[in-house]
A and B are shown apart, each in its own frame.
Chain A
Amino acid sequence: DAGVIQSPRHEVTEMGQEVTLRCKPISGHDYLFWYRQTMMRGLELLIYFNNNVPIDDSGMPEDRFSAKMPNASFSTLKIQPSEPRDSAVYFCASSLGPGTSFYEQFFGPGTRLTVL
């Protein structure tokens, strides 16, 4: 398996533009997570899905952020409109469901977002 795939790897945009980040989880994984990593706040969970259904979006900063998972192999995180403070590395991760010994999350390589 290729692991979790994220695109784009780097994104530079101007304030006010819409940004869409994409993620393909590992095949067979039931859970998908979106994280944001910054120097100031560390690694923050934004939202996670179970079997394509959003379970907890309490980490989503505000209404400008939205996430979807239309099927088991694809998810998007959208920021509209983007602001400079959204600049961060965004990670997608996936994991197997209950029944496994440890709930290991497999992270993608991340998308480095810069909002000018």
Chain B
Amino acid sequence: QQQVKQSPQSLIVQKGGISIINCAYENTAFDYFPWYQQFPGKGPALLIAIRPDVSEKKEGRFTISFNKSAKQFSLHIMDSQPGDSATYFCAASSGGYQKVTFGTGTKLQVIP
């Protein structure tokens, strides 16, 4: 059973545009929501993470928006750059639990 649904599967954005990736979850016990970035041939790496006690977290050009009532969260990449081209995974876990459930991934391509 997939517990974290991610969309879109792929995304093409022009340089300077905004990339938006959405995720939804069902398990209300989830209390930690990280996003991982994966470049071809590499392992995923933590990009940014949020806990549900805040509605937004921003780090540079990357922002997580969190809607607890809707059980949805999203990643916004402002001023997207070709170097942002990668696969992005949302994820969730609960109770300090190390077991993280990943979404299916979004392949982002930023074109010049």
Asked if B32 is at the interface (CB within 8 A of a chain A CB), the reply is: yes
* CA–CA, A48 and B97, complex, Å: 11
Q: Are A48 and B99 in contact (CB under 8 A)?
A: yes
With beta carbons under 8 angstroms apart, the residue of B34, B44, B98 that contacts A31 is B98
Interface of B is mostly: loop
Considering the complex, which residues of chain B in the window 6-51 have a beta carbon less than 8 Å from any beta carbon of chain A? 32, 34, 41-46, 49
Q: Are B105 and A42 in contact (CB under 8 A)?
A: yes
Size of the chain B interface, CB-CB below 8 angstroms:
20
Asked if B60 is at the interface (CB within 8 A of a chain A CB), the reply is: no
With beta carbons under 8 angstroms apart, the residue of A45, A104, A108 that contacts B46 is A104
* CA–CA, A95 and B36, complex, Å: 14
Q: Which residues of A contact B105 (CB under 8 A)?
A: 42-43
Q: With both chains docked as a complex, state the minimum distance between the C-beta of A105 and any C-beta of chain B, in angstroms.
A: 7
Chain B 87-98 per-residue mask, 1 if CB under 8 angstroms from chain A, else 0: 001000100101
Q: Which residues of A contact B43 (CB under 8 A)?
A: 4, 91, 93, 107-110
Q: Which residues of A contact B45 (CB under 8 A)?
A: 106-107
Residues of chain A touching chain B, judged by Cβ–Cβ distance below 8 Å, are 4, 31, 33, 42-43, 45, 48, 50, 55-56, 91, 93, 95, 98, 102-110
